[in-house]
Structures are given as structure tokens and as C-alpha cells.
Chains A and B, each alone.
Chain A
Amino acid sequence: MTDHDHDHHADHGSDLSETQLRVRALETILTEKGYVDPATLDAIVETYETKIGPRNGALVIARAWSDPAFKQALLEDATKAVATLGHVSRVGDHLVAVENTPRRHNMIVCTLCSCYPWEVLGLPPVWYKSAPYRSRAVKDPRGVLAEFEVELPKDTEIRVWDSTAETRFLVLPMRPEGTEGWSEERLADLVTRDSMIGTGLARKPGELAQ
């Protein structure tokens, strides 16, 4: 066993599944051929486990709620606007922010695969990549929203954005009432991952965990 081959493989002994064995074999081959470096793979996994997640997006939303000029910039060119925030990792090109209003609710899907704004939301949840969501979001979004316990007024326009190219969409949810004067940190606690996909709404102040 080599030094990189630590706890993520070593604790199963003979119980390794065929899947684990096949993936481990692949990593061994790619490493022996010099295509990949196991320590770098560790760092990639760690990045997605600990550094890149929906808190990044929540801070972007909280800033947009607090700073009208930033909100304007975000809606004009989200990649450029997010780059001005030091606390969020750099994002690639083609990020587009879409704003929820009392008249229009936005919802994001990728019917063809799993396109998702990783840099601001982290890795997509399994449901986002699943057949039920991919098949139904474009045809029955209100039915999907009901499964997320979201019910919108009957006359609210629902706009579903199918991420069919390299553009990535981030929903700017509506700011909950009763949050006047809140700090950005505190506002960010109201911004859920699902509210930035459009399958949820931002939490109300009373829904914050104590």
C-alpha cells in the first residue's frame, strides 16, 4: 500500500465491492502511467467536501440583497460581479443570475445531464441529477415544487431555465420580509441551496435554527 492509499480505501479489507475495486484499479493505472497524482486527487476531493458549497452562493445573494449596485452588476454579468467578492472562490465564465420577483419565479434544471453552478453551490444533490427532476421540471414545475413544499400563487409566472450549454444559472431569491438592517452574514443564513436552484424559497427569519 502506498502512502496515498489511506483511509478512503484501507478500511474495508476483503469487503471491497466490485465498484470500489474497479475504481481503485483505474486510479492505480492512471497513477502508474503518470496521468494523475493521488495527492492532487485527495486535494480535489477535499476541496469539494470542505471548501466549495452553497455558502459561497448564499454570500453572493446576501450581498445582492444589501447592495443595490452589486445586485445590478450581478444581474448584468454574474461572473464579473462575483469576482469582486474576495470571499468567494473564483468562478469561471458564463454565470448568469436570474431574479425572482412577486410576478416571476425562476427554476433551474439540466434535462440532458447535470449542469449546475458548482463554484457557487458546490456539487449538485442527487435529486438534481435524477430522472424524476430532469424529466418533470420542464413539464410540471408546480408539481415538483409541491414535493419541495413550495406553493406559489396561481398567477405567478414560472420560468424554467434548461441548462443546455455552458451557461450556469443562479437564482436570486426574494429577500424575506422582516430582515431590514440585517448583516450580510445573517442574511446569508436565510439563503438555502434550494432557494438558489429555484426549488425553494429563502427562509423567513422565524425559520432560522436557534
Chain B
Amino acid sequence: MNGVHDMGGMDGFGKVEAEPNEPPFHAAWEGRVLAMQRAMGHAGAWHIDDSRFAQEALPPQVYLAASYYWRWALAMENNLLARGYVTRAELAAGHALQPAKPVKTRLTLDVVNEGLVRSSFFRPPQASARFKPGDRVRTRNFHPQTHTRLPRYARDKLGVVELLHGCHAYPDSVATGQGDDPQWLYTVVFDSREIWGADADPTLKISIDAFEPYLEAA
């Protein structure tokens, strides 16, 4: 979706402000939100793409005003509600009011370290790869209302395939409940002038990781 999350190339957000000696969390609740998110992910309650889509679907003014982990919390509440793990009445009451919906597994102390290793996104291919490093490609010009990982600034642009990363679960399908729909994943590199026009810094090259459905031969 063309949301405010898709920030590449936007102007007006100001300077990058680094905080010296920044702590991992700025308040204890941030750590609880992160931990709950990891635990629910491990339980198979939803996919990482569902988390991203739930954040993108927040009203733009909410997305921009919320701190990072607060955005996670809001997205988590929405995913819990949408999938029937909690009800609005429970959120209002602050307690469980009805039986739990079964989950695949639970993240427990004995397996916590295993549970924190990222899972693999490799999936068996449905077909052979259409492109190889060195191929010229054009990214598609599409504007789905649902989740996609092709940023706006990189749509309908000429680029060159640089790396082939194997076949991965396809976020656009995962986030719309269509399963993994495995697709080949490539690093595609663009000259800055193709993206930002003739006045762009000629020493700049930008790459995205693009799933095969984002690309056509050029």
C-alpha cells in the first residue's frame, strides 16, 4: 500500500539525530512489547509480514506520531483482534474473559535462545529463476492496496540484477493470507539518476531486494 511507511526519498523530516550511548530500550514497556511480539511470532500467531502490514495500515497520523515500539504495540493489538486471539472486551477489561485460541507452540525458557534465532525464509522454488546477475530489468509500476516490499521510489525503474538470493516466501502473498507463494529474490541496483533524475549525485547507486514478480525483462 502507498502508505507513509514508504519513506524513501521523502523530504521534510529533518536531520538524523543520533543519541550517544543509547540504551536498548528507553522504557521497560518497550522491552515487554518486543518480547511479546517475538513470543507470538514463535507461537505462529502471525507472520512478520502481517506485523509489517498491520503497522502500515495504521492511520498515517498515528504511524508518524507513535514511537517505534508503540507502533509495534498498536499493530500487535490489531493482529490479536483480527485473528481472534483476544477480544475488544478483553483489551478493555485488562484480563482474559474467554478461552484461548490454540497456538502452534509456546516460547518457553528452555527454548528461548532457539526461538530468538531468525527463521529461514528459503522456500522450494515453483519454477526456475527468470533472471541472472547482469540482466537488465525494469521494476513494475503497480500500486497494490495491500502489503508490498517494492518501494514507490523504485517502481517503473531500469536496473541491473546483481545478486540472486535464492527462493523466498513472498511477502505480498503472505500478508494477504495466500501462503508462502515462493519467489526468487534478487538484489537489483539502480543508478541514482534513474531514480532521482539528472541532478542526482552521480556517485550514488541504490539497490533494493526485489522478488521476481516485481521485475520484467528490459
- Give the distance in Å from the alpha carbon of A122 to the alpha carbon of B17 in the complex: 19
> Does any Cβ of B come within 8 Å of A66's Cβ?
no
Select A131's contact among B7, B118, B150, B196, beta carbons within 8 Å: B7
- What residue of chain B has the Cβ atom nearest to residue A142's Cβ? B201
Q: Is the CB of B205 within 8 A of A160?
A: yes
Q: Is the CB of B18 within 8 A of A127?
A: yes
- Give the distance in Å from the alpha carbon of A19 to the alpha carbon of B69 in the complex: 11
> Does any Cβ of A come within 8 Å of B108's Cβ?
yes
- Give the distance in Å from the alpha carbon of A123 to the alpha carbon of B22 in the complex: 11
Q: How many residues of A contact B (CB 8 A)?
A: 83
Q: Given A40-B109, A162-B8, check contact A127 B120 (CB 8 Å).
A: no
Contacting residues of chain B (78-132) with chain A, CB-CB under 8 angstroms: 80, 85-86, 90-91, 94-96, 99-100, 103, 106-109, 112-113, 116-122
Contacting residues of chain A (99-155) with chain B, CB-CB under 8 angstroms: 109, 111-114, 118-119, 122-123, 125-127, 129-142, 144, 147-148, 154-155
- Give the distance in Å from the alpha carbon of A42 to the alpha carbon of B36 in the complex: 10
**Interchain pairs with CB closer than 8 A, number:** 267
> Does any Cβ of B come within 8 Å of A85's Cβ?
no
Q: How far is the CB of B150 from chain A (nearest CB, A)?
A: 7
Q: Given A164-B209, A167-B165, check contact A22 B109 (CB 8 Å).
A: no
Q: Is the CB of B35 within 8 A of A41?
A: yes
Candidate in A43, A125, A165 with the most chain B CB atoms within 10 angstroms: A165
Q: Is the CB of A164 within 8 A of B149?
A: yes
Q: Is the CB of B96 within 8 A of A48?
A: no
Q: Chain A residues near B6 (CB, 8 Å)?
A: 111-112
- Give the distance in Å from the alpha carbon of A123 to the alpha carbon of B37 in the complex: 14
> Does any Cβ of A come within 8 Å of B175's Cβ?
no
Select A136's contact among B13, B40, B91, beta carbons within 8 Å: B13
Q: Given A122-B24, A126-B22, check contact A26 B36 (CB 8 Å).
A: yes
Q: Is the CB of A136 within 8 A of B205?
A: no
- What residue of chain B has the Cβ atom nearest to residue A33's Cβ? B100
- Give the distance in Å from the alpha carbon of A90 to the alpha carbon of B64 in the complex: 34
Q: Is the CB of B117 within 8 A of A92?
A: yes
Q: Chain A residues near B151 (CB, 8 Å)?
A: 111-112, 162, 164
- Give the distance in Å from the alpha carbon of A162 to the alpha carbon of B205 in the complex: 11
Q: Chain A residues near B29 (CB, 8 Å)?
A: 19-20, 23-24
Q: Chain A residues near B36 (CB, 8 Å)?
A: 26-27, 30, 36, 41
Given contacts A91-B118, A94-B121, A130-B13, 8 further A-B contacts (CB under 8 A): A32-B95, A37-B108, A41-B36, A111-B8, A112-B7, A114-B68, A142-B204, A161-B207
Q: Which 8 A-B pairs have the closest CB atoms?
A: A92-B118, A111-B8, A25-B94, A8-B28, A165-B209, A32-B96, A45-B31, A44-B35
Binding site for A on B (CB under 8 A): 5-11, 13-19, 22, 24-29, 31-36, 38-40, 43, 45, 52, 55, 64, 68, 70, 73, 76-77, 80, 85-86, 90-91, 94-96, 99-100, 103, 106-109, 112-113, 116-122, 149-151, 153-154, 163, 165, 168-169, 171, 185, 187, 189, 195-196, 200-201, 203-211
- Identify 19 residue pairs between A and B in the complex whose beta-carbon atoms are under 8 Å apart, listed by A's number: A20-B29, A33-B99, A36-B39, A40-B109, A44-B107, A44-B112, A49-B24, A92-B120, A93-B118, A125-B19, A130-B17, A134-B8, A138-B8, A138-B153, A139-B196, A139-B200, A148-B16, A158-B204, A160-B206
